[in-house]
Amino acid sequence: MILLDVEKEVQILQERLDYIKDIFAHKENENIVLLQTKLNDFVNSYKQLSLSESKQKLKSLKELFTFLENKLDRRLTPMDKVRIVRHPQRICLKDILENVYDNYTEIGGQDEYSIDPAMLIARAYITRKVGNKIYHQPVMVIGQEKGHGEEFRNGGSVKPWGNAKALQYMKVAERENIPIHTYVFTPGAYPIEDYPGAAQQIARNLYEMAGLKVPIIAVFSEGGSGGAEAIALADTRLMLSHGYYSVISPEGAAAIEGKIKAKGKITPELVEKCAAQLKITADDNLIMGYIDKIIKEPPLGARPEHYDFFKVLRNEVIRATDEVVLRVRGINLFRSLALRKLNSPNIYVRWSLTAKAKARLVEERYAKFRQMSKHAYIDNSSWIDRLKEKSEEALWGIYSLLRYDFFKRNKQKIVHLWEDLKGESLAVIDRLQRKVSFWVCKIPLCKKYNQKTCELVSLSKWQEKEPKNRYISPQARVDRAVSCPNAEKEGCLDQWAPDLFGDMAGVCAYCGHHFPMEHEWYLHHVFDPGSIKEFNAHIEAGNPLDFEGFSHKLEKAKQLSGHKSACLTFEASVKGIEVVVAVLMAKFRGGTVGAAEGEKFIRAVEKANLKHRPFIAYVHGTAGIRIQEGTNGVIQMPRCTMTIRNYLEKGGLYIVVYDTNSYAGPVASFLGCSPYQFAIRSSNLGFAGPGVIRETTGIEIPPNYHKAYNALSRGHIQGVWDRRFMRDNLYQALLTMGERKLYSY
């Protein structure tokens, strides 16, 4: 070792120290001070020492660094881990492609010459030597690329067209029957509505991934909410030990919790507290069951020089792919056993699937997500209720099987048999009837008055009309005038509240602006009177993360709304057509979706599936995923979308109607994936609100950016409805989109 080498080693140690300082940010730490002092001492003294003494001192200094790095690693807080994944030295997807895969070609763009440089796609292969044979196993690698401080990568924040590109190549992988490895390195999606739209594209990705017939393995490093979900619906979800997977950034959560407006300052302590409360670490997510395995990283997180880590990662993704394939394939006994028991078994598993295995794979994926987040909501139903529910389900199952399966298959035979029987009986009855009538008509008193004559000569009967205004809004009970927000532009005059919220159903008589109405108005004016039968009302929203102060807020919401969650599910009919409905109510915590809401939504879709009825999601308003539930909320995005896909694949009809304000996770998943989406006039819908767009992109959006008509122009919805005609429009939609056969066999 020459002097130059010592200087080089010192520089490396200084870089290691700088990295540690970055990770622990503002926090004072005696270990960091010690490292700094020791390094400074060495830097000041090594030139006076002999080379061997320097070498010796450097060795002990390096050992001290390693020892203290290990020590500091054990003390990492969740927020420290957030800083690790955001650090420019953090491994990125390109490092993984270089070190985990044996060869790769970047497709769909290269560096800044890409439709979205934040999304990286590569066709790669892994070479395995088993016995004397060498196998090249192709794989499609998709993931967000943060780069090491490359500005054009946009920090891994993918634009809608980047996610569309990812979906395009996922389908390519499906056609080529090769597995997909996705790597999640994103703080969140880029929240713009330009076509195909952030929310709509994520919803499309989730919907398609739910049914992809190839194994999908996802590896999480930085899993920021919806942006992560766009590529993370997978058969096996692995997570790097220093990564995070969360519903919102800790800073965002702190801003909401602290009720701090855009320009306000958030204290680092509040951010730390929120990061800890959101349970975002790999260990937390493993306990909650949202990831399958943790991949251990080197102390203080993996960086490009940690070659041993890449080896571990390679083994883990290979093993995960093998396991998924063997789970759904025929002969797998010994290989599955070897995979479970041995550390790195030398076995070969072909990754292409047969038709049957593909079907099993999709089924298993659905079952896996269906089982998630069961612990995160409160279900106080008694065993009698559950038994009743199960038996009802079983009876409906049998009925559906007979009516929609057996009858459908043998419909022609049954119809023919019925026609023959009817014809035979008519031949007998008709002859008999004529004989009887002939003799009866002979009796003067019993002479039957011709019904038609009777109708023509008598007065018609009064037909009862449906009672109008069955529901009176509390807004209509106030004696005051109301100004329209468009008054300045459109010249609307003030209107008297009882008129406006009564007869006018909250619609401005001058410009047609729709004032928000309570969800109860729709229950009374859209569905047939007395047809609403609520179910699963006992499922209750909880506080699965024990988020400080949230239980109290939840109780308040329950008292205020009279409901136990933000989702109301019921069976009803619209002009005689029986439907299953889920309503997201804005008055319960802004219509946010947590585990309870997700579960209720899923059960409602399953009911619609079981009873072969159209499913309507009326979104009275939703502010997104409930942040206080953390990943318990985020996971509802893939869960509900998978159920919707399952329902639609079986021939269901799914209609979504947005009202007031609908944003974020739900729109970017189970609502946005509907082929038939409508909005009530004057409603707003999109991925992120104006404040979030300003903060994340720096773009000042126009005030009408999220308005329903703009969403219609962008192709996100299929129509804008007047509230007063929602019943007619819905009926029309049910008839035209569902066709009569959906609900009348």
Partner 1 sequence: MKQRNISEFLDKIKENPYKEIVVKAPHCGYVEFVVTQKGVPVSGPEGKYKEKPGTLLAYIVRENNKKPIFALENGAISEIFPLKNKEFVQAGTPLLKIRHYLTKQEVIDLILQKTLYLVKAQEKGKYYFVPEIDKKIGTKGCQSVLLRPGEEILILNVMKREKYISYEGPKGLIYAIYFKQGQTLDCGDILFGVCPQEDLESIKEVIVKVQSEWEEVRIG
**Contacts with partner 1, residue ranges (CB under 8 A):** 478-483, 494, 496, 700, 702-703
Kindly tell me which of 194 and 305 has the beta carbon lying closer to partner 1: 194
Quote the least distance from Cβ 704 to partner 1, whole Å: 9
Kindly tell me which of 700 and 739 has the beta carbon lying closer to partner 1: 700
Backbone angles phi, psi at 590, to 5 degrees: 65, 20
CA-CA distance, 547 to 628, in Å (whole number)?
A: 6
Quote the least distance from Cβ 199 to partner 1, whole Å: 22
Within 10 angstroms of residue 403's Cβ, the number of other Cβ atoms is 13
Q: How many residues does the structure list for the chain? A: 745
Kindly tell me which of 51 and 493 has the beta carbon lying closer to partner 1: 493
Nearest to 289, CA basis, from 249, 236, 240: 236
In which residue are the tokens 């007065």 written?
A: 459
Nearest to 316, CA basis, from 291, 337, 296: 296
**One-letter identity of residue 53:** E
Quote the least distance from Cβ 712 to partner 1, whole Å: 21
Within 10 angstroms of residue 697's Cβ, the number of other Cβ atoms is 16
CA-CA distance, 9 to 17, in Å (whole number)?
A: 12
Kindly tell me which of 28 and 479 has the beta carbon lying closer to partner 1: 479
**End-to-end CA separation in angstroms for the chain:** 87
Quote the least distance from Cβ 672 to partner 1, whole Å: 26
Which residues have a Cβ under 8 Å from the Cβ of 461 and sit 6 or more positions away? Answer: none
Quote the least distance from Cβ 696 to partner 1, whole Å: 17
Any idea what DSSP says for residue 630?
Answer: T
Is 180 strand, coil or helix?
Answer: strand
CA-CA distance, 301 to 678, in Å (whole number)?
A: 46
Quote the least distance from Cβ 532 to partner 1, whole Å: 34
What are the start-end ranges of the H helices in 177-306? 198-210, 225-232, 250-257, 268-277, 282-288
Quote the least distance from Cβ 479 to partner 1, whole Å: 6
Question: Burial level of 229, CB count in 10 A (0-12/13-18/19+)?
Answer: buried
Kindly tell me which of 89 and 495 has the beta carbon lying closer to partner 1: 495
CA-CA distance, 66 to 605, in Å (whole number)?
A: 54
Quote the least distance from Cβ 196 to partner 1, whole Å: 25
Q: With the CA atoms of 470, 476, 479 and 484 taken in that order, what torsion angle do they form, in degrees rounded to the nearest 10?
A: -140
Kindly tell me which of 495 and 674 has the beta carbon lying closer to partner 1: 495
Nearest to 139, CA basis, from 92, 109, 180, 192: 180
Nearest to 642, CA basis, from 395, 431, 336, 364: 364
Half-sphere exposure of 53 toward its Cβ, with a 13 Å CA cutoff? 7
Quote the least distance from Cβ 705 to partner 1, whole Å: 10
Quote the least distance from Cβ 698 to partner 1, whole Å: 12
Kindly tell me which of 299 and 516 has the beta carbon lying closer to partner 1: 516
Kindly tell me which of 506 and 594 has the beta carbon lying closer to partner 1: 506
Tokens coding 564: 């136990």
Kindly tell me which of 51 and 481 has the beta carbon lying closer to partner 1: 481
Quote the least distance from Cβ 508 to partner 1, whole Å: 14
Quote the least distance from Cβ 521 to partner 1, whole Å: 22
CA-CA distance, 427 to 420, in Å (whole number)?
A: 11
Kindly tell me which of 591 and 686 has the beta carbon lying closer to partner 1: 686
Give me the sheet containing 615-619, strands edge to edge. 533-534, 567-574, 577-584, 615-619, 654-658, 676-680, 719-721
Backbone angles phi, psi at 444, to 5 degrees: -60, -45
Kindly tell me which of 194 and 363 has the beta carbon lying closer to partner 1: 194
Kindly tell me which of 296 and 477 has the beta carbon lying closer to partner 1: 477
Kindly tell me which of 330 and 702 has the beta carbon lying closer to partner 1: 702
Kindly tell me which of 308 and 479 has the beta carbon lying closer to partner 1: 479
Are 668 and 636 a contacting pair, CB within 8 Å? no
What are the start-end ranges of the H helices in 132-221? 160-176, 198-210
Quote the least distance from Cβ 262 to partner 1, whole Å: 11
Quote the least distance from Cβ 482 to partner 1, whole Å: 6
CA-CA distance, 693 to 701, in Å (whole number)?
A: 8
CA pseudo-torsion sign 337, 341, 342, 344: positive
Q: Give the gyration radius of the chain's Cα atoms.
A: 32
CA-CA distance, 59 to 38, in Å (whole number)?
A: 12
